[in-house]
Every structure is written in C-alpha cells, then in structure tokens.
Chain A
C-alpha cells in the first residue's frame, strides 16, 4: 500500500497524468479477509437458568402445597357443570361479538354520515356506552324487569297493544348478559371501525366515485375491505377482552364458566383449585381466538406487499 490515495483516484481519474493507472488496471488495494465477531447479549445461559430455577421453584411450591388439592382440579376440569359453563361462555362471547360488530358498524357509519341527526345519535351512543362500566351495565340489564314490567308492542300513548310479555320472560340472565356485553362492546368497536375507515385514502373514494359508484357501494366494495386490514388486529384484541369480560356475568348468575366454577367452590371450599379450572379454559379460549385472528389477518393481507 505505497499509495493510499489510489483508492480514491482510481475510479475518478483513471486517465490521470504521469503514470496513474490506466482504465484497465485493477485498483491497487490489498485485500484481506477479516472474520467478523458479532456482539452477543451478555450471559444468556445464566439468565435462562435463573428464570427456569424461579419458575420451577414456583411450580414446585404450588404442586406440593399441602393446602391445595390438585385432584379436585383434575376431577372438575371436564365435569358437566364446567362444560355447560364453558359452552355458555363461548356462546356469550360469539353472540356479543357478532351483535357488537353489527351495531358498531352501524354506529361508525352514522358517526361519519353527513346527516347531523345520525351523527349526534352516534356520538351520544358512544359516549354513554363507553362511560358506563360493563359491570354496571350487566347489573342494570339483569334487573331491568324491576322498572319495565312488560315489553309491549303497540301504538305509543294509546291503549292499543298487539302483544305484551313480562320483561323477565324475555330478559333472562343470558339475554341480559348478551345485551350488556354487546352494547358496551359496540361502542368500542364503532370507534375501531371508524379508525379503519378513516385510514383508507380519499383517493380510493374519489376513484370509486369517478367510476359512477354510489356511496353505499363504495363503502361496501372499496372502503370496508381495505379498512378491514386495519380493523382486524384491534378487533381481535377486543374479542379477547370480551371473552374475559364474560366472567363479569357471574354477578347476575349468568351461568357462564366462572359462575359454575364459583358455585362448585362454594360447596367444596376448593377455591384456588376451581379457579385453576377457569384459568385453564380461559387460556384455551383466548389461544384459540388468537390463532383464528392470525389466519384472518393472513387472508386479508392479499394484494399487500410485506
């Protein structure tokens, strides 16, 4: 390396004066192959060992605790009352989610409508149902029969009634639970959907308009499919939250997983063991939902370069 400047000179001035290298000459740079040593996180094995030790100690403590009887957990894991509670929880989650998405979509579209009345209704709706805690809502719906004795279809302010049913007959705990959960859910979902719709560039709507598409068709064919990609991840989150929120239903004897588990523990006095049954099933439900979300997102990713 007698001439370090050759590195710079070679490509720039190949035909320079006085003995500089010609265009055909390779640059006169010595080549050395160095071995690159990557930096590693410090002491990975030590950390892993420490964490494993703590975890084993914790599990060992649980397993050998004389106050806990794990046989009870195993015994009730697949027992009929737990299974029926699990089934109610699944039904509650799916029904409330479906209803929540339908209402949420309507509210989101109203919120973004050019019609001031619809806008106002949507804004008030979202404010109210986001402000009232789900637990309070469930209690209200569970006790609605106290203030409205009969559900009547007729002409308001007259005595004409087509039919009338006692409220308690149709708003059973299950219905009350679905109503409470779905309405609370729909307010959040409306905002998630609105966020998704806003994320679609206006150029898309203009292009659809220029093709002569009506606003309804544009929403259905162009805006929503694109908004869905943005909507699905938070919606999945919302569903997971909802699955867990169904446990609140136990306050109105909703018959869900937690209601059943608490009922059993009330007679067997095996509280932690029975709660472990609930924990097991909630883990399974939420994991299943997460897997579903993964496949849904993958399908919606069509046409998008990653």
Chain B
C-alpha cells in the first residue's frame, strides 16, 4: 500500500474536492480573476496552463486562502475556505480556524520554500508534530517513509542548502504529504529547476497522481499535462478560456487564444 494514500474516509466521495464558483479577485483596479468556476472531483488531476499574468497561480493560491477573494465562494471538501456561512452572509474566520481548514491542503511552491534552518527530516515533521500534535516518534517514522518514497532516504539529516533544487522540491512534496492532505496544490513546481532536474520531480508527481491523489497543478510542462492530467484548464486574462481533456486542449484546441498559446509553447 502506498504511503501517499489519502484519508478519504472523512469526506463524502460525492462532494467535489474543489468547488470554486464565480471567484473574483482584484488588486486595486486590476481584476486578476474574473468570475472563475473550477470543480475538481476526488482523485482528479487538473493542470492549469496559460500565459504569465493569466491568473492561474492566483487561482491556485485562493484555494487555500493564501489569497483572499472579493467575490464568489470556494469550498474544499464541501467546506468554505476562509469563511463561515450564516444564511446569506459570509463571516471571515479567525486565523486559527483558517489554519485548521488548511491542514488537509498540501501546497508545493515554485521556489520550494523549505525552512533553511531545519534538516529535511525536521522540515517534514514540523507540520505533523507542531500542528497536528502527532507523537514525534510516529512523525519521524512516517517522515522516513516519505523520504524513501521520494527517493531521498539518505538525505534525512541534510539541510536544504546541501540539496539540489530537484531534491529540495522532492523534500517539499514529502513535507506537504506528511500532513496527509486530501488535495495537493502545485505552483509551477519545476519552473525554478535546472532542466536536468525537472524529470525527478515530475516522476514523483506522476507517482502521486497514480496513487489517486487529487491534484491541481499550475505548470508549463505540456508533456506532464498531456500524460498525467485528467483535465487541462487554459486561462487567459483572469478567466478560464477552455477546459477539457489534454488531448483536446493541447492536441486540438477549439479557441483561437488557446491555439496561439499551445503553438507558442510546444
């Protein structure tokens, strides 16, 4: 059995993992997301693609409330993220409650964001021990399993500065998985890597997708999207232009805008 296996028992399989409806995000007078809808079913892998500034990273970050939104609602596993609903009003949650709702959403960043003053192992157990109150011994044991799974069994005591970019990103994935997430968000996980290190990270992500993890991936790796994604979402200017299976979006896009983008990147 895979160590990735998500704790599915807690959630109703009928409810989509991500349910974002009419999401609107503004920076000053600049609308970065306009009326975006995104549904992600359990076990689905969705890749967000699009030119820079199209809002794909912002959309990803709204899903765990790293960005607040000005309109629309976002439910993760059927629960509002960042707000509590009472009749027709949304009350902002206290930051402690926001944190609790984030626990089951793993996030992997473009620049890894490992904690540089902690070893790989300490990075991984920080969440379980500090937030989840998992007994340390158990967390360490599981961290070793996760490290082995991402191919870094011998790097437990290494500090991030002693690891390559690809290794750091794999530790970052292990760190997110240690919280037993029901949803994994990836924000351009290979964009900051040297070309020869991209493959090792994508391999771990592919493995994760195969184990049934629900994933939303912002990426420029068309090959990965083509092979792993169940659905590809093409965004431009803060809206979703086109969505569909990779064969359609990458192989045979309908919209002119999508076609131009695909031609430019392939």
Give chain B interface residues in 59-103, CB to chain A under 8 Å: 64, 66, 95-96, 99-100, 102-103
One digit per residue, 1 when the CB lies within 8 angstroms of any chain B CB and 0 when it does not, for chain A 193-220 equals 0000000010110111111111101000
Residue-wise, chain B 143-160 has the 8 Å CB interface mask toward A (1 for contact) of: 000000000000000011
Which of B103, B117, B175 neighbours the largest number of chain A CB atoms within 10 Å of its CB? B117
B161 / chain A contacts, CB cutoff of 8 Å: 303-305
B-chain residues with CB within 8 Å of residue A302 when the two chains form the complex: 117, 159
Which of A201, A204, A208, A305 meets B162, CB within 8 Å? A305
Closest chain A CB from B3 CB (angstroms): 18
Docked Cα-Cα span, A213 to B131, in Å, equals: 6
Q: With a CB–CB cut-off of 8 A, which chain A residues contact B66? A: 206, 209-210
The reply to whether the CB of B111 lies closer than 8 angstroms to some CB of chain A is yes
Q: How many A-B residue pairs have CB under 8 A?
A: 75
User: A210: which of B95, B96, B102 is its contact (CB, 8 Å)?
Assistant: B102
Instruction: Indicate the member of A203, A210, A304 with the most B CB atoms within 10 Å.
Output: A210
For the residues of A in contact with B, the DSSP-based class is helix
Do the beta carbons of B113 and A212 come within 8 Å of each other? no
Which of A87-95, A123-131, A172-180, A221-229 participates in binding chain B?
Answer: A221-229
State whether A213 touches B130 (Cβ < 8 A).
Answer: yes
Q: Give which listed residue, B95, B106, B113, contacts A215 with CB less than 8 A.
A: B95
A209 and B109 form a contact (CB under 8 A): no
Given contacts A212-B100, A213-B131, A303-B160, contact A207 B115 (CB under 8 A): yes
| CB-based contact A303/B131 at 8 Å | no
A109 to chain B, nearest CB (A): 15
Interface residues of A in 288-305 (CB under 8 A from B): 302-305
Number of interface residues of B (CB under 8 A): 33
Binary B-proximity of A268-304 (CB < 8 A = 1, otherwise 0): 0000000000000000000000000000000000111
Q: Which residues of B contact A221 (CB under 8 A)?
A: 126, 130
Complex Cα–Cα for A210 and B106 (A): 7
Determine whether B118 belongs to the interface, using a CB cutoff of 8 Å to chain A: yes
Residues of A within 8 A of B113 (CB): 201, 203-204, 206-207
Q: How far is the CB of B175 from chain A (nearest CB, A)?
A: 7
Question: Which residues of B sit under 8 angstroms from A217, Cβ to Cβ?
Answer: 130-131
**Inter-chain contacts of B64 with A (CB < 8 A):** 210
B105 on interface, CB distance cutoff 8 Å: yes
CB contacts (< 8 Å) of B103 on chain A: these are: 211-212
- Are B179 and A206 neighbours in the complex by a CB distance under 8 Å? no
Q: In the complex, what residue of chain A is closest to B104 when comparing beta carbons? A: A212
What is the bound-complex CA distance between A221 and B132, given in angstroms?
15
Contact of B116 among A209, A212, A215, A304 (CB under 8 A): A304
Contacts of B32 in A (CB 8 A): none
Partner among B95, B116, B132, B172 whose Cβ is within 8 Å of the Cβ of A303: B116
| B118-A303 in contact (CB<8A) | yes
Given A204-B115, A210-B102, A211-B175, 13 more A-B residue pairs with CB atoms under 8 Å apart are A206-B107, A209-B99, A210-B105, A210-B107, A211-B126, A211-B131, A211-B176, A211-B179, A212-B102, A215-B95, A217-B130, A226-B115, A305-B161
